[in-house]
Structure formats: C-alpha cells, structure tokens
C-alpha cells in the first residue's frame, strides 16, 4: 500500500483543483461528510441524545471539521465547535464552511481552556473530532499553548476520538510527535494513507485508519510514485518463491548458519530451525565445538557441525572450515549468539570480505562491524541484509536522535549499499535505491530474546530459494510477524516464545499458498 507524503497530497489537491477544475469546497464537503459518517457510526441509535465536540484550526483541516460539525448537527447530534486558532486566518473554504454552519444556527466558539462549560462538554461527549492541523503541521506544538490544551482535552475525552486526516501533533512524513499529539481511536484520511500513519509514534496514535475517496481523479492519484509503502499479504504472496513440483533439496537452496557461543546456544538453533521451516532444502549449522553436542541433540532436519573454538567462542581456525562449507551453500546467515571478541570480529570481517553469496548479518555479526564499516561498504553490489534493533543500529552509526527511524534507515541503506531491516514496532526494510517498506504484522510478544534469530532464519531461507534481497527481507519480516500474531493468539503475548513463532511458520505459509491449491 502506497504511503503518501504531505507534499504529494498538496500537489494532488492542486492538480485536481487547478488543472481539473474541481471546486476545492467540493473536496472539503466530501471529506467533512466522511468524517461525520465515521462519528455517527460511533453513536447510539438515538443521536439526538448524543453530544459531539469538534476542534478546528484555521486551515483547511479545520474546514473539514467545521463541515463535519454541520453534518452531525443535521443528523440530530448536539454539537459544539471549538476554534483553537484565529478567526481572521480561516482559509476561504473554512470560512465558507463556517457560513454554512452558521446558517444552521451553530456558531464557532473560540476555544478557552479555562472555560469550565467547554471542558465539561468535551469530557462528556460521545465523540470528539480532531481537525486542528491535519498534514499541515510544520513545527512543534508549543507547551501550554491553546493547541496543546486542546490536544490534552481531547485525550481526556471518554468518548471516541476521530482524527480528520491525521492525528494533530503527528508529523505526516515521519510519524514523530511534534511536542504533543492527539491519541485517536480512528483516523479518516483522504485519498491515501500518509507515512505518519504507519511509522513512529504516529502509528500508535492513529487508531484504526480508513481511507476516504474525496473525489481526486483516479488517473491523477494512480500516477503517484511513493518511495515508502507498507507490506501487505498480497506483496508477500507475490514475493514467495514458487515450489517446483519436481524440485529436490538443491532446488530449494542451502543455508549455512554460523553462530553460537557458551551461554548462547539457543540463538543459532532458532535461526537454523526457522530456515528449515521456511522452505529451503538444506540447513547447515556451524557452532563452536564446545556447544556442538547440545545443538546436535536439538536438531533433527538441520545439520549441525563443530568448529574450532577457544574460550567458548569460535577461534580463528574456524575460518577455513567455514570457507569450505560455504562453497556448497547459497546463503550465509552470520551472527546469532556468536559472542563478542577481537577474534570474532576478525572472523566476521574476513567472511564479509570474501563471501560472494548473499549474507544475512544479525546480532553479534552486526556488532562486529562497529568501527569496520569499510568492510560493509566494500560489499556494495553484493547482497547484504542487516537486521539490527535500534541499539545495534546506533552502534553502526545510525542516527536516531531526532526520532525519525524511517529517514535514518533509508539514509543508512543508501550510504552503505545494503538492505537494512530496522527492527522494532513497524519494522522498516530500507534498500540502497532509497525506497522503504513498512511492516504491518507482529505484536509485543516478539519483544523477547530469540525472536530476531527466527527472523534471520526466515530471511536467509527465502534468499536461498532465489527471492530477491528486498523480497526476502520485507516478506520475511511480514511472515515472522504474522507467525508471531498466530503464536500470540494461541499462547498470548505474555506466554509465547520464539519457538512458538517457529512452530507457527507452517500455518503462515499455508495461509499464503491456499489460493494456489
């Protein structure tokens, strides 16, 4: 699903109004009616006994709210409309909506945070409409300003809060909260979802997002090129490697997992197990000799083998054996539970320099790059997928200081020529060309040690089956998250484990392929 920027939406509006001669007030009326209908759907069967509060700014988003208030009033709802801005700065269309509202006998009220009557009305409203800023917010909301007080009051409302276009206070292009922000239960947005609905804190404040067609010509909106999109099931189905009826183990690829250390025996097993459950033909698992017996006891279809070790970690002598094993494999998954030491760093850097096959780098494999980013840069042109969480990303030099994870991920992938999977709520897959895909599956039950190791195995398996790097990464994240959702449904987010996620993978693949059967 395309995610539009604020500038793209302004340009679409301009084209519709100036080039196609669609009256801007008609677009506003459709937006207002859609917001009002959403509000009405939240009310009991007898709207005449219901109260609504509508908060408006001076811009066109405020005009959407003023129009929505009129539709609510004409439907029998008791409505009050609060202007948290300057009447003199109302846009022409917002002024026209104000005139139409006044003809119905309802007037704009200047919002006064100290007015006890207004506060009581809002707190007792069945529904509150947020039409303060929309996508037009360009600077943080000042603390204690009239806008901040309006946001705070809406967030205290016991009724349903509906945002017009986007929750006020959320930056439409990054999802960052600009000072403070409304926490909506529902968002009615127009033509396309915006980036800020799906990433950052904006994804936590949007509630259920519904897209409304307000009359932008389809041929204009269809031409919109969006570098940021969400990953949905249709994308994953299209990306999923097809199973050849006459295929064999080699047909479906071979994954080599290198990881493990004393105290970290579960991580490499989870990666190998997830790879095996995700369709590849053979999974080899190289671990330090000291933990090999434990790995061998767990593995059934995965094939573990011991590597030279020292002090519980892989030694430099392991490199030659890894090279030999890798010659017969299609993908290297490097890092789960590998541990941290100078010789591990040397091992990882040597493998990255030498390996022509795709590499999925996770956990301590990523940590080994700290101070050695030249090694990553030298792989430009070869497939390298990194799967860091925020802490690992920061150690690699990723800049999250301003809270814009999307921009940071896109910049990193572009600068270093890799596919970056920045894990977290709404995991972001960024590619060197500058595009990014935002994941839509997963839950808090995945916030447990070992979950990332499962993801590494899924991505490596898809790569081994000849998915492209972006397909393997983005589809792998979606599949991992969907398996997490199924595990949470069965075990709860509290009780699920990474092994439950691995066990749920076959059901996910069943869902994805049932149409073909």
Last residue of a domain, one of 225, 253, 286: 225
Sign of the dihedral through C-alpha 440, 167, 53, 59: negative
Last residue of a domain, one of 186, 207, 225: 225
- Read off the tokens for 213: 């067609």
127 shares a domain with 43? yes
Q: What is the pLDDT along the chain (517 residues), one digit of tens a residue?
A: 999 999 999 999 999 999 999 999 999 999 999 999 999 999 987 777 899 999 999 999 999 999 999 999 999 999 999 999 899 999 999 999 999 999 999 999 999 999 999 999 999 999 999 999 999 898 999 999 999 999 999 999 999 999 999 999 999 999 999 999 999 999 999 999 999 999 999 999 999 999 999 999 999 999 999 999 999 999 999 999 999 888 888 889 999 999 999 999 999 999 999 999 999 999 999 999 999 999 999 888 999 999 999 999 999 999 999 999 999 999 999 999 999 999 999 999 999 999 999 999 999 999 999 999 999 999 999 999 999 999 999 999 999 998 999 999 999 999 999 999 999 999 999 999 999 999 999 999 999 999 999 999 999 999 999 999 999 999 999 999 999 999 999 999 999 999 999 999 999 999 999 865 4
pLDDT at residue 145, as a whole number: 96
pTM: 0.95
Last residue of a domain, one of 225, 255, 277: 225
d(CA 251, CA 41): 53
Question: Pick from 222, 227, 169, 229: which is nearest to 191 by CA?
Answer: 222
98 shares a domain with 62? yes
d(CA 421, CA 283): 22
172 shares a domain with 279? no
260 shares a domain with 172? no
pLDDT at residue 300, as a whole number: 87
Q: How many structural domains does the chain have?
A: 2
pLDDT at residue 516, as a whole number: 57
267 shares a domain with 149? no
491 shares a domain with 375? yes
123 shares a domain with 253? no
The b-or-e profile of 97-131 (16+ CB within 10 A means b, else e) is: bbebbeeeebebeebeeeeeebeebbeebbbbbbb
pLDDT at residue 248, as a whole number: 87
Question: Pick from 180, 332, 347, 337: which is nearest to 256 by CA?
Answer: 332
353 shares a domain with 400? yes
149 shares a domain with 237? no
294 shares a domain with 199? no
307 shares a domain with 212? no
Query: Which domain does 394 fall in, by range?
Result: 233-516
264 shares a domain with 163? no
CATH number for the domain that contains residue 54: 3.40.50.10260
- Read off the tokens for 242: 């097809």
pLDDT at residue 46, as a whole number: 75
CATH number for the domain that contains residue 509: 3.40.1190.20
């Amino acid at each position: 699903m395309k995610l539009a920027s604020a500038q793209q939406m302004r340009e679409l509006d301009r084209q519709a109004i100036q080039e196609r001669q669609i009256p801007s007030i008609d677009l506003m009326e459709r937006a207002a009616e859609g917001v009002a209908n959403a509000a009405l759907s939240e009310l009991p069967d007898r709207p005449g006994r219901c109260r609504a509060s509508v908060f408006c700014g001076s811009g066109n988003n405020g005009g959407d709210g003023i129009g929505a208030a009129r539709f609510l009033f004409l439907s029998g709802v008791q409505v009050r409309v609060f202007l948290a801005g300057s009447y003199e700065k109302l846009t022409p269309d917002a002024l026209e909506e104000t005139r139409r509202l006044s003809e119905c006998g309802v007037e704009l009220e200047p919002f006064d945070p100290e007015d006890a009557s207004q506060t009581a009305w809002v707190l007792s409203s069945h529904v509150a409409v947020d039409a303060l800023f929309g996508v037009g917010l360009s600077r943080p909301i000042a603390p204690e300003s009239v806008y901040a007080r309006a946001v705070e009051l809406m967030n205290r409302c016991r009724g349903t809060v509906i945002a017009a276009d986007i929750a006020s206070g959320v930056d439409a292009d990054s999802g960052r909260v600009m000072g403070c922000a409304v926490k909506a239960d529902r968002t009615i947005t127009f033509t396309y979802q915006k980036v800020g609905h799906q990433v950052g804190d904006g994804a936590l404040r949007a509630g259920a997002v519904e897209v409304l067609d307000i009359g932008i010509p389809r041929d204009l909106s269809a031409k919109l090129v969006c570098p940021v999109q969400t990953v949905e099931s249709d994308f994953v189905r299209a990306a999923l490697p097809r199973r050849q009826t006459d295929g064999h183990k080699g047909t479906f690829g071979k994954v080599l997992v290198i990881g493990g250390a004393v105290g970290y025996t579960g991580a490499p097993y989870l990666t190998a197990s997830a790879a095996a459950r995700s369709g590849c033909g053979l999974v080899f698992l190289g671990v330090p000799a000291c933990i090999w017996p434990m790995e061998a006891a767990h593995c059934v279809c995965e094939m573990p083998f011991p590597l030279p070790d020292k002090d519980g970690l892989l030694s430099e002598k392991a490199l030659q054996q890894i090279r030999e094993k890798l010659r017969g494999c299609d993908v290297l998954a490097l890092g789960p539970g590998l541990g941290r030491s100078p010789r591990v760093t040397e091992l990882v850097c040597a493998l990255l320099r030498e390996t022509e096959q795709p590499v999925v780098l996770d956990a301590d494999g990523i940590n080994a790059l700290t101070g050695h980013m030249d090694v990553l840069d030298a792989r430009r042109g070869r497939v390298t997928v990194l799967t860091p969480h925020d802490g690992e990303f920061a150690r690699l030099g990723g800049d999250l200081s301003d809270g814009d994870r999307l921009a940071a991920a896109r910049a990193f992938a572009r600068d270093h020529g890799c596919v970056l999977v920045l894990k977290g709520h709404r995991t972001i897959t960024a590619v060197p060309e500058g595009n990014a895909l935002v994941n839509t599956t997963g839950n808090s039950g995945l916030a447990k040690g070992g979950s990332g190791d499962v993801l590494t195995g899924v991505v490596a398996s898809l790569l081994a089956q000849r998915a492209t790097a972006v397909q393997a990464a983005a589809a792998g994240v979606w599949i991992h998250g969907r398996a997490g959702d199924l595990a949470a449904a069965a075990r709860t987010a509290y009780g699920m484990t990474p092994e439950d996620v691995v066990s749920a993978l076959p059901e996910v693949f069943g869902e994805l392929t049932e149409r073909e059967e």
